[in-house]
Each structure stands twice: as structure tokens, then as C-alpha cells.
Structure 1
Amino acid sequence: MTTSPIPARLIKWLLVLIAVGVSLFPFYWMLRTALAPQSQQLADGLGFWPAHLDFGNFARAWNKANRGQALLNGLIITGAILLLQLITCVPAAYVFAKIRFKGSGILFGVVLACLLIPTQATMVPTFIGINLFGLGDTRIGLVLPFYSSAFGIFLLRQQMLSIPDALLDAAKTDGLGPWRTLLRVVVPMSMPSIAAFAIFSVFTHWNDYLWPLLVARSPDLATPPLRLAVFQQADIGFDYSALAAGAAIVTAPILILFLFAQRRFVQGMAGGEIAG
């Protein structure tokens, strides 16, 4: 008597559950550590959940790391970067997608080449330039190097390629110029990709640690990830409970944003892949 094979659907769901568990484990461990009393940080025999919950770790993390100022700095810097990127990337993507001009292929090739260059490779000359212009330790210095995004131009261009040229010709016939066509026709039809890029940009720059570490020398300019360094103590090392509580505070806004905008994110990324 032969046994029936395991259904492929069951195998698929098992793999999905394993992937979800692996992805969520760091969040579980962060929350568990944040709720554990400071005296049990390095205790042996850790259980699934702390026997005694200590919500005071969150208050200690908020006060010691000046979380209110850090979150405000993160909001201002992330919002300014996103605004500048949308102002530069949306028109650039529209030009590459729908306006034919000599050398457009070469210029777009340069944009694609920029995707291959890691940010760390250009960080030192960018830092030198920011300091030469006297923008070190300023919010402008934190924002200016990210005024545009090669990934944003590429993603939005792919979405705009799927917009029928006949629709743009009809807008031109109705008397709309290039800018009004962009704002009234192209942007509304590209909102899934714009929303997806906005989420990607916010995730990236809210969690950025290295560039603020180089530029923001004043504690008043520290971003949320940068303020986590205050929990390193010279005599005992890291205060892990307060560090995990601070990390949870930093992660919460981004996690909430993704939960509300995940449908737009998936639609935008899928639209950028399908358009050719």
C-alpha cells in the first residue's frame, strides 16, 4: 500500500509559515527584551516570555535618548528628502518615458549605472563637499545628498511607460502643456508606483545610521537610529532592555506605515516590473 504524496499546497503553506516565522523572530525578540526587567537581561534559561513585565524600559528609553527630539528630527529629515525626491524624480521619469530627445538612451543608461554604485562608495567625497560648503552638522547637510534617486527615476519610468500615448495626445489636443499633462494625467495614473517609492524612501532614510553618524555631530540633530547609541555604557556595555525599547519606538512608526500602505507598495512594485 503506497502512501499518498504530500499536497503541493500544504508544502507551499509550510514554507510560507517558516519564512514568516524567520522574518518575525527579530521583532519578537526585540519586544521580549524590551519588556524584560533590567536585572534579567543576561539571565540564563530565558523563557518564551518574561515572567515579570517591565514597561518602565520604554519610559527610560524615551527620556534618556530624548526620543521626542529624535523622532521630530527623523520626521523633518525623512519628509524633506521624500519631497525633494518626488520633485526631481517624477518629472525626470516622465521625460525618459514619454519624451523622445537625442541622447535620452545614454542619459538613462547613466541613471541605471548609478543603481550599481553603493552609497558607501560616494560617502567620503560627499562628506568632504558638504563640509566645504559649510553644511556639516546641519539638517540641510543631512538632506541635500539625497535630493534625487536613481531607483525612483527607474521605478516611476517603468510605470509611466504603461500609460497609452494616445491618452497624452488627447491631453495635448485639449490644450494641456507638458507640466499640466504631467500633473493632471500622468501623476494620478502613476500613484501606485509613487506610493511604493515613497514607502521605500521613508524606510531607507528613517533607518539610515551611517550618514547621520558622519554629519550630525550635535545631539540636537541626532536621528532616531543615532540616538540608540546612548544606551552603550562604558562599564557594563549595552543596556539591552532600554536599547530594545528604543528600537521598538523607532520601528513602530515605520511598521504602522507599512501595514496601512502595503497594498499600494505591492501594486507599485508589480507595476514597475510589468511595464517594459
Structure 2
Amino acid sequence: MSRGVSLFLLIVGAMGILLPFIWMVSLAFKPRDEIFSADIDLLPTRLEWNNFVVAMTQTDVPLYLMNGLVVVLGILVFQILFTVPCAYALVQRRTRWRTVVFACVLAALLVPFHVTAIPIFLGFAEMGILNTYWALILPFIPTAFGIFLFRQFFSQMPKDLFDAARVDGMGEMEIVWRVAFPLALPAATAFAIFSVTAHWNDLFWPLIAITDPELATPPRGILYFRDQESGDDVGPLMAAALIITAPLVLAFLLAQRKFTQGLSAGGLKG
């Protein structure tokens, strides 16, 4: 296949993926009469900024954004706190069970969260922590993907580096956070993007674990917005969706270089 054909197929595929986002942006800036016009035009005749004013002042979108920030940062911090030492131990601790443990990690990658959602829900119901931030954070702290990613990255580091740290009197946990983790920042950036994107956009679990609108994350909050506030007022609804989507796009653009470094520097190598 020639380079031109490959490039054309990539452009067509990218346009197919971006088309819903482009349409959302178009509707967010259109006045109401143009949204329901029979003509399909991507560019509005005038920019309707009032859609964003309504979304931010007459609805709970700011609260949904704050809830989403608390949840994704809480998940990420705890994931890093537990995942990095686990991945380091899989590389540095020479035990006969190491291969078995790593095989279990790989097997866990094949199990979708939806399979374990009902047992987790029933357990949380017994513990009485549904409708709390902990209900949204705790299920995602164990992450097989994170252990796999950091383990592959740590396995590329020279063993002499860690031996030298031990000779200098460092303990294992000190080596993890003062030597291994700083060198793994590209992998941490890549993992952070995966984690934040997945949990910022997650609707399945918040739809089950949360019934209190005050705790709604952005995707869950959009459902409340549509049902209670927006009705058929599509402009503010699309403006709210754009406001919720924009932070992820900006974060990826700012971290794109480190994200690429994290994947190419050994994080996904076998």
C-alpha cells in the first residue's frame, strides 16, 4: 500500500472519529433557530455565547466539573501510590512466585470491569459507602494495566542503578520513590493520561454507584442536565458537553510529547 493511500485512509478515519466532536462544537455556538434549521451548516451565522452562559450559571455544570476533578485525581494518586511499588517489586524481587504473579496481572487485563461491577456494588452496599466519593474511587485503585506499564518500564532500567542505590544505604521504598519513579515520569505521564481520560469519561459506574446529583461526575451530570435543565434546548446542552470535553483535549495536547516518550521508552515493550 502506497504512502498516499495510507495517508488518505488515516485522514478519512480521523474525520470519521472527529465528526461528532466537530458537530458538537458547531451546535454549542449556534443560536436555537439555526440548530433546528432544515439546512446542515457547520458554521453558525452568529456565535451564540449565551449557550455557555446558561450552561455555567443556570445549571450545576461547575459542580460536575469539580466532582470529576476530585474523582480522577483521587483515583490517579492512589493508583500511583500502590502501582509503582508493585511494579518495582515484580522487577526487583527475585522470588519463585514472581512469574505467577505477573501472569495473574496479565490475566486481569482480560477481565472487563463490567464483570466485577455487580459484586463490587453489593459489597459497597453492605459497607454503606454508596453515594460517596469513595464509591467512585475505590474500585479503580487496583489497576493491572498500570502495574503492567510500570513493570515494563522498570525492566528496561539497568540493574546496576538500583544496586548502587542499595550500596549507598537506601531502602527499597526509598529507591522506589527517589530513583525509580523520577526516571519513570514519561511512563507516569502516559499512564496519567490513560487513567484520567478513562475515568473522566466513565458513565457506567457512576450511573450505578451514585444517585445523589450533588456527587455526579461530568458524564453523569450531563444526564441530569438534559433531563432537568435543558429539555430540548440543545445549544446549552452541547455547550456543557464541550466544556466537559475541552479539559481532556487541552491536557493531552500539553502532555503529548511526554505521552509519546512514555510509550516509546520501554513502557509497552515486551
Find 2:200's aligned residue among 182, 202, 206.
206
Find 1:28's aligned residue among 7, 22, 25.
22
Unpaired stretches in structure 1, ≥5 consecutive residues: 1-6
Contact 1:61 1:243 survives alignment (8 Å): yes
Query: What are the within-5 Å matches in structure 2 for residues 110-259 of structure 1?
Result: 110-233=104-227, 238-259=232-253
Partner secondary structure for residue 232 of structure 1: helix
CA distance in 1 between counterparts of 2:34 and 2:4 reads: 40
- Partner amino acid, structure 1, of 2:14: V
Q: 1:238 to 1:272 in 2, by over 3 A?
A: farther
- Partner amino acid, structure 2, of 1:89: T
The answer to which of 147-156 and 24-33 deviates more is: 24-33
Q: 1:157 to 1:233 in 2, by over 3 A?
A: closer
> Per-residue deviation at 1:21?
2.5
Find 1:37's aligned residue among 20, 31, 34.
31
Aligned to 2:63: 69
The answer to which of 78-87 and 214-223 deviates more is: 214-223
Find 1:268's aligned residue among 237, 258, 262.
262
CA distance in 2 between counterparts of 1:233 and 1:187 reads: 45
CA distance in 2 between counterparts of 1:230 and 1:93 reads: 40
Give the TM-score normalised by the residue count of structure 2: 0.93
CA distance in 2 between counterparts of 1:78 and 1:233 reads: 25
CA distance in 2 between counterparts of 1:233 and 1:226 reads: 11
The answer to which of 58-67 and 219-228 deviates more is: 58-67
The answer to which of 33-42 and 88-97 deviates more is: 33-42
Q: 1:222 to 1:233 in 2, by over 3 A?
A: closer
Contact 2:187 2:267 survives alignment (8 Å): no
Q: Highest Rg: 1 or 2?
A: 1
Q: 1:196 to 1:240 in 2, by over 3 A?
A: same
Unpaired stretches in structure 2, ≥5 consecutive residues: none
Query: What are the within-5 Å matches in structure 2 for residues 38-57 of structure 1?
Result: 38-57=32-51
CA distance in 2 between counterparts of 1:179 and 1:232 reads: 48
CA distance in 1 between counterparts of 2:181 and 2:114 reads: 32
The answer to which of 158-167 and 46-55 deviates more is: 46-55
Contact 1:41 1:241 survives alignment (8 Å): yes
Q: 1:231 to 1:80 in 2, by over 3 A?
A: closer
The answer to which of 181-190 and 236-245 deviates more is: 236-245
Question: Is the counterpart of residue 95 in structure 1 residue 85 in structure 2?
Answer: no
Contact 1:158 1:271 survives alignment (8 Å): no
The answer to which of 15-24 and 29-38 deviates more is: 15-24
Contact 1:77 1:143 survives alignment (8 Å): yes
CA distance in 1 between counterparts of 2:213 and 2:224 reads: 10
Identity %: 38
Aligned to 1:11: 5
- Measured on the aligned residues, the alpha-carbon RMSD in Å equals 2.0
> Per-residue deviation at 1:175?
1.4
> Per-residue deviation at 1:60?
1.6
Contact 2:88 2:154 survives alignment (8 Å): yes
